[in-house]
Structure 1
Amino acid sequence: MRKVYGLGETVLDIIFKDIQPVSAKPGGSVLNAMVSLARLGHSVSFISELGNDKVGELVVKFLKDNNIDSTYLQRYEDAQSALALAFLNEKNDAEYDFYKNYPEERLNIDLPDFQKDDIFLFGSFYAIDSRLRSNILRIVQHAISKGCIVMYDPNFRKSHAKDLDQLLKYVLNNITSADIVRGSDEDFANIFGAKTSEDAYRLVSDRCMNMVYTANANGVYLHTNQLEEKYEVNQIESVSTIGAGDNFNAGIIHSILKQGILKQDLKNLTKTQWNNIIESGIQLSAEVCMSLDNYISR
């Protein structure tokens, strides 16, 4: 059975609406995707780090309850698990404050047991943090060497734009490492100043030939070496958009596995295969926006 590996930050999301806390749950972009994939019946392993504290115990129990392998989850005695305060606005989009206390030496784990055609997802600021960069690269390059399908989600927030000069080289390297890049219109605007999916693909295509560009209610755009397509999305009354992009990623991966698509197939996928992939992403993304959960329902 093919396995899905996710590499990303673990946080406890505390969600506020109208200045009141309304929910608290394990989160982090990649973790959210891994939970949904596990709930869809896939074999999932999560690579991350946590403090050896009550929040860490809560997250570990949550992963176990959702059948997620935590073999590559590093626990720290001299650090605290990260918190993310998410403040929902009138459109139920979130703005964040993060609270982190990590040790100097981080993510010193054994290399995962990747197998050919497993799927490896990584992204967000975690994947470009200079303090983690050498260990991130070590894991990414191992996934490539083992023949995994590599998917990258930059999830690049406006708050990181001030450091773009330093971070851009890491983002570009991650794009080059990927078989599929899935990013939002805001990601590509914050990184490249791109105003359209065509602008973004011109800057990505020489590094990665498969790009999925999500633009909220304005639709989804697919660019590959053979196809350019736009997909409409249904208008919904969202409760929270926190896990929307993360679950779009899960939908892409779910469809790739369901269709039996291998790494060697990615160069020549048909329009029907891509339609299935994008529709799966749209469905999971919409479903998660209908609740305060960061993942699809059980």
Structure 2
Amino acid sequence: MRKIIVAGECSLDIVFPADTASDTFSLTAHPGGRLLNAAAILGDCGHTVEFAGEASRDLTGDIITGFLARHNVSTRSIDRYTAGVTPAYFLFENRDEATVAMRSHVTEGFDFIWPRVDADDIVIFGSYFALDKRIRPNLTDFLTNAAERKATIIYLPGFLSKLEPSITKVMPFILENLQFADMVVTRSGDFANIFGVDATPESSYRDHISFYTRLMANVDDSNGTISIYHGKDT
């Protein structure tokens, strides 16, 4: 049976309200990241989905793996490490620039075996997980194997300039990820962070992405539209 393997960061989003000018206020928390939530949606749709990543053996890690399990996603390829803590993001309503990331990885890499990839499987990867220098050696080996086994590889770039390393330091990783990809799925907000403030979906596809992969789908959150780019056609 064709399966979907999603490789991404396990994290928890902790959301602060817009008004914090009081002694007490309410917070909300939920599993975060487009990869994690994409896996849950695909599991709910009845697909065979396996999530590959890492989470500490702490309460936050339990929350995330429990979330995936409830949405019919296999968690057997999540490394439950004992040193460090599961990443969390502090988000502030209407203040994206104030987002804070908390990550603590004492270990130097994964301690698990990647899922088996068969022909016609789908592999989805991206965001910070695909830029972390600890992850790169194992991730590139996995993607190379997936490509050799004729899997369809989908890359979701994602780059938060306030939280991630300098774009100049990770751009080689982004370009290498594009080389692996059969398809790229973006959001309009990704381009300014990666390719510069004047970058648009059209210019980014034409000047950068099309050299590596011919197929790109862009989601514009401002109006809820999806644009498909393939060669000269949009």
Q: Aligned partner of 1:65: which letter?
A: R
In structure 1, C-alpha distance between the alignment counterparts of 2:2 and 2:26, rounded to whole Å: 39
What is the match of residue 66 of structure 2?
Answer: 61
Are positions 1:205 and 2:205 aligned together?
no
Q: Segments of 4+ in structure 1 off by > 3 A?
A: 19-22
Are positions 1:189 and 2:195 aligned together?
no
In structure 1, C-alpha distance between the alignment counterparts of 2:141 and 2:230, rounded to whole Å: 28
Partner of 1:129, secondary structure, is: coil
Q: Deviations over 1:167-212 (max 9, x none)?
A: 1111001011101111122212221125332211121111010012
Distance change in 2, residues 1:216/1:106 (3 Å): same
Distance change in 2, residues 1:200/1:159 (3 Å): same
Partner of 1:48, secondary structure, is: strand
Are positions 1:133 and 2:136 aligned together?
yes
In structure 1, C-alpha distance between the alignment counterparts of 2:199 and 2:77, rounded to whole Å: 38
How far off is 1:95 after superposition?
A: 5.1
How far off is 1:22 after superposition?
A: 3.6
Write out aligned runs for 1:152-167 (5 A): 152-159=155-162, 163-167=166-170
What is the match of residue 46 of structure 2?
Answer: 41
Q: TM-score, normalised by structure 1?
A: 0.70
Q: Deviations over 1:107-146 (max 9, x none)?
A: 2321311111111111112101112211121221121111
The question of whether the paired residues in 2 share the 8 Å contact of 1:161 and 1:191 is answered with no
What is the match of residue 4 of structure 1?
Answer: 4
Distance change in 2, residues 1:221/1:112 (3 Å): same
Partner of 2:60, secondary structure, is: helix
Are positions 1:32 and 2:34 aligned together?
no
Q: Aligned partner of 2:30: which letter?
A: K
In structure 1, C-alpha distance between the alignment counterparts of 2:73 and 2:97, rounded to whole Å: 26
Question: Gapped runs of 5+ residues in structure 2?
Answer: none
Q: TM-score, normalised by structure 2?
A: 0.88
The question of whether the paired residues in 1 share the 8 Å contact of 2:41 and 2:71 is answered with no
What is the match of residue 14 of structure 2?
Answer: 14
In structure 2, C-alpha distance between the alignment counterparts of 1:169 and 1:42, rounded to whole Å: 33
Q: Pick one of 210, 217, 230 that aligns with 1:224.
A: 230
In structure 2, C-alpha distance between the alignment counterparts of 1:159 and 1:82, rounded to whole Å: 16
In structure 1, C-alpha distance between the alignment counterparts of 2:68 and 2:188, rounded to whole Å: 31
**Identical positions, percent:** 30
Are positions 1:107 and 2:110 aligned together?
yes
Question: Gapped runs of 5+ residues in structure 1?
Answer: 229-298
Partner of 2:166, secondary structure, is: helix
What is the match of residue 85 of structure 1?
Answer: 90
Q: Aligned partner of 2:75: which letter?
A: S
How far off is 1:80 after superposition?
A: 1.3
Q: Aligned partner of 2:53: which letter?
A: S
In structure 1, C-alpha distance between the alignment counterparts of 2:188 and 2:82, rounded to whole Å: 39
Q: Aligned partner of 1:151: which letter?
A: I
Number of matched residues?
226
How far off is 1:162 after superposition?
A: 6.3
Partner of 1:104, secondary structure, is: coil
